[in-house]
Amino acid sequence: MKISEEELRKITLTAINELGDKASPELVRNIVSSAVDKLGAEAELPQAETSAAPVLDRAILTSFGLNRPGVIAKITALLAESGCDLRDVSQKIMDDFYTLIMIVDLSSSKYQMKELIEKLSKIEAELNVKIFLQHENLFRQMHRI
Amino acid sequence: MNYEFDEILDTIKMTEIEHFDIRTVTLGISLRDCADRNLEVSKQKVYDKIIKYGKNHVKFAEEVEARYGISIANKRISITPISIPFDGLNRYEFIEMAKTLDKAAEDVGVDYLAGFSALVQKGFTRGERELLEAIPFALAETKRICSSVNVGSTKAGINMDAILKVADLIKKTAELTKDQDSIGCAKFVVFTNVPEDNPFVAGAFHGVTEPEVVLNVGISGPGVVLDAIKAAGKVDLQTISEVIKKTIFKITRAGELIGREVAQKHGVPFGIVDVSLAPTPAEGDSIGDILKAMGVEDVGAHGTTAALAMLNDAVKKAGLMASSSVGGLSGAFIPVSEDQGMIDAVRRGNLSIEKLEAMTAVCSVGLDMIAVPGDTPASTLAGIIADESAIGLINDKTTAVRVIPAYGKKVGDVVDYGGLLGLAPVMSVREISSANFVNRGGRIPAPTRSLTN
C-alpha cells in the first residue's frame, strides 16, 4: 500500500490538532512515522530538504565538420576520462561532412562544465571541427512547452 | 533521442551564426535606504550597497553564459532614480554622487550603471531642479553613468518646462563632451510613459515600486528573425507574422531561462524579461535589414511604418505567450547609429527624421541615437522632444528621445563612437522655428481616453 503525499499531510494535520500546544516537530514526526508503519506503508516520510525530482544535469554536445578518422574517438575519450555518462548518440554523414549529437550526463563528471568546454575547444582547434556543449535545459526550454 | 536533430541544429544556428544573444542582464538595486544628512555617509552607503549586491554580477553571468553557450553581451546595474533618495542634495553634491556611482560600477566590473534619473512629468521638486543642472557635468565627468528624465505621461500630460530644461541640458552635455563627438548625449534619454523595469541602458532605472533587488533580462536577436524571414521566402503577411512569432517565442523562452538562472545565483527575485529586438552595428544584426527582408526597398520607403508595426506587434505577442514575466519596453528598437541597415538608409538619403518620427509611433521606444547638427537651437530640440512625447501621450505608449546635437558638426558629417554605440550620420532637421510654441512653457494636459479617433 502506498500513501500519497496528500494523505500524509492529513495524518500530520490530525496529529498536530490532537497534540495541541504540545506539538513539536520531533514529536509530530515520530507519531506520523509510527502511524505510517502501522499502516504497513512503503511511503517514506519526505525529508525536510529533499527536492521532489532528482536534478537532471545533462548537456547536449554537438559537433560538425569535415569527417576524418578519430574525431568521435577523441571526443568520447575525453568524456570517458571525465566520467561523463553518454545517454544517447546520433550521427549523420553527408559526403565529406559529419554531424554528431550526443546527450551527456554530467552528474558524475569530475570536471565542471566550463573545464569540459575548455578541453573540448582544444580538440576543436586540433581537428579543425566545431564542438558545442550546452546544457539540456536550453533545448527543453526552446523546443518543448 | 528526446530532441529532433533539426531542433538541436536550430538552437546551434541561432546561438552561433545568427547572433542570438542575451543583450543584458541588469541588476536593479534600490538606494532608497542610503540617504543620510552627511553627504560622505550617503556616498559610502551607496558604494557599499552596490558592491554588496553587485560584486558577483559579472561572475554569475559568465557562469551561466558558459553553461548554455549563449553569450550575455552586457552586464549592467540600475538604481532607484537618484533624485528620489537624494532630493536634498545640491548640484555639486549630485556630481559627487555620480562619481561615487561611477567608481562602484567600475569596481563591480559593469560597463554602465543607469538611473541618474528624475521623474518630472508633473513638476519639479527642488532636488530635481538641482539634478537637472548636474546631469551634463555628471555625464561629462564619468564614464559609466547613464541618465534619463521622464517628461510626460498619459496620466499627467507633458511638462513643457521640463522639456525646455532638458533641451538645454542636452546642448550643454554635447558641448562638455565635444572632444568625444558629444558622447555624453548617448548616455541620456528623455522619456514619456517610462517603464520602471526596463533593463536596457541608457534608459534603465530601478522603479520605486520594485523590490529591494531584482534581476531583469533583455533579450535580443534581430539576426535570428532576419534569417527566419528570408527562409520563409515569398509568402503573405500572416505567414510572416507567424514566422516572427515562432522565432521570438523560442528566444524569449531561452532568455527567461538565463535570467532566472542568474537571479537564482544571486539569490534575488527574477523580475522581467524584456523581449526587444535590439540591433548592434554587427553585420546582419539589424532591424533595418528585417524591414527590407519584409519587402521595402530601403528603410524609409512608404510601407516601412506598416512593416515595423507588424514586426513590433508580433514580437510582443510571441513574448507574452512564451513568458508570464514580460515587461520593460518589449518590441523593436530603431536606434540609427547602432543599426547598419538604418545607417545605410540615412546615408543614401532614404530615411529622414520625419519618417523616423512616424516609425516611432509603432516601434517600442522612440527617436534613438540620432545625430543632428551641433548648431541646432535648443528650441528645435525641445520641439523634437515635444513631438515625440505627444506620440507617447496620445497612444499610451513609451516614447523616448536620445538625440545628439553633435558639437561643431553639420549635415553630412558623422559621429563615430565605435563599439555598441556605433556610428551616426548627422541628419538634417527643419530650420523653421519651434521657439514660440515651446517657450510658452507650462503643461500639455493629460489627454482624453474616449473619442479616440
Per residue in B68-102, pLDDT (tens digit) is 989 999 999 999 999 999 999 999 999 999 999 99
Whether A66 and A109 map to the same domain: the answer is: yes
Q: Which of A88, A117, A142 sits opposite B11 (nearest CB)?
A: A142
The pLDDT profile of chain B, 453 residues, written as one tens digit per residue, is 678 888 898 898 888 888 788 999 999 999 999 999 999 999 999 999 999 999 999 999 999 999 998 999 999 999 999 999 999 999 999 999 999 999 999 999 999 999 999 999 999 999 999 999 999 999 999 999 999 999 999 999 999 999 999 999 999 999 999 999 999 999 999 999 999 999 999 999 999 999 999 999 999 889 999 999 999 999 999 999 999 999 999 999 999 999 999 999 999 999 999 999 999 888 888 999 999 999 999 999 999 999 999 999 999 999 999 999 999 999 999 999 999 999 999 999 999 999 999 999 999 999 999 999 999 999 999 999 999 999 999 999 999 999 999 999 999 999 999 888 999 999 999 999 999 999 999 999 999 988 888
Task: For A115-126, write each residue's pLDDT tens digit.
Answer: 899 999 999 999
pLDDT for position B20: 86
For chain B, say whether A9 makes contact (Cβ under 8 Å). no
Whether A126 and A78 map to the same domain: the answer is: yes
Cβ atoms of B258 and B275 within 8 Å: the answer is: no
Whether A45 and A102 map to the same domain: the answer is: no
How far apart are alpha carbons B409 and B432 in whole angstroms? 19
For chain B, say whether A121 makes contact (Cβ under 8 Å). no
How far apart are alpha carbons B431 and B376 in whole angstroms? 8
Cis peptide before B156 (omega within 30 of 0): no
Task: For B212-246, write each residue's pLDDT tens digit.
Answer: 999 999 998 899 999 999 999 999 999 999 999 99
Backbone dihedral angles phi then psi of residue B11, each to the nearest 5 degrees: -65, -45
pLDDT for position A71: 87
Q: Which of A113, A135, A143 sits opposite B3 (nearest CB)?
A: A143
pLDDT for position A8: 76
> Shortest CA distance to B370 belongs to which of B339, B404, B400?
B404
pLDDT for position A2: 58
Neighbours of B409 (CB within 10 A): 23
Cβ atoms of B109 and B77 within 8 Å: the answer is: no
Whether A70 and A131 map to the same domain: the answer is: yes
For chain B, say whether A94 makes contact (Cβ under 8 Å). no
Res. A49 pLDDT band, cuts 50 70 90: very low
Res. A43 pLDDT band, cuts 50 70 90: very low
Whether A64 and A123 map to the same domain: the answer is: yes
pLDDT for position B434: 96
Which residues share a beta bridge with A88? Answer: A103
Domain count, chain A: 2
Which residues share a beta bridge with A12? Answer: none
Whether A132 and A117 map to the same domain: the answer is: yes
Whether A40 and A69 map to the same domain: the answer is: no
The CATH number that applies at residue A94 is 3.30.70.260
Whether A97 and A114 map to the same domain: the answer is: yes
Whether A80 and A122 map to the same domain: the answer is: yes
Neighbours of B38 (CB within 10 A): 9
Question: How many angstroms separate the Cα of B38 from the Cα of each of B29, B88, B125?
Answer: 21, 11, 20
Of A9, A33, A51, the residue at which a domain comes to its end is A51
Cβ-Cβ contacts under 8 Å, A113 against chain B: 66-67
Whether A80 and A110 map to the same domain: the answer is: yes
Cβ-Cβ contacts under 8 Å, B256 against chain A: 141
Res. A46 pLDDT band, cuts 50 70 90: very low
Q: How far is A63 from chain B (nearest CA, A)?
A: 10
pLDDT for position A40: 58
Give which of B5, B6, B9, B11 to mutate to test A binding, by max A Cβ within 10 Å.
B11
Res. A1 pLDDT band, cuts 50 70 90: low
Q: Which domains does chain B have, with CATH numbers?
A: 23-192 (3.20.70.20), 221-444 (3.20.70.20)
User: Would the CB atoms of A103 and B2 count as touching at under 8 Å?
Assistant: yes
Residues 17-76 of chain A with CB under 8 A from chain B are 60, 62
Cβ-Cβ contacts under 8 Å, A124 against chain B: none
- Residue A41 structural domain: 1-51
Whether A26 and A75 map to the same domain: the answer is: no
Cβ-Cβ contacts under 8 Å, A62 against chain B: 8-9, 12
Whether A64 and A128 map to the same domain: the answer is: yes
Do the interacting molecules here have an ipTM over 0.85?
no
As a whole number of angstroms, the longest Cα–Cα distance in chain A is 77
Residues 226-265 of chain B with CB under 8 A from chain A are 250-251, 253-254, 256-257
Q: How far is A31 from chain B (nearest CA, A)?
A: 36
Q: Cell match 513609451: residue?
A: B398
Task: For A88-145, write each residue's pLDDT tens digit.
Answer: 999 888 888 999 999 999 988 888 888 899 999 999 999 899 999 999 999 999 998 8
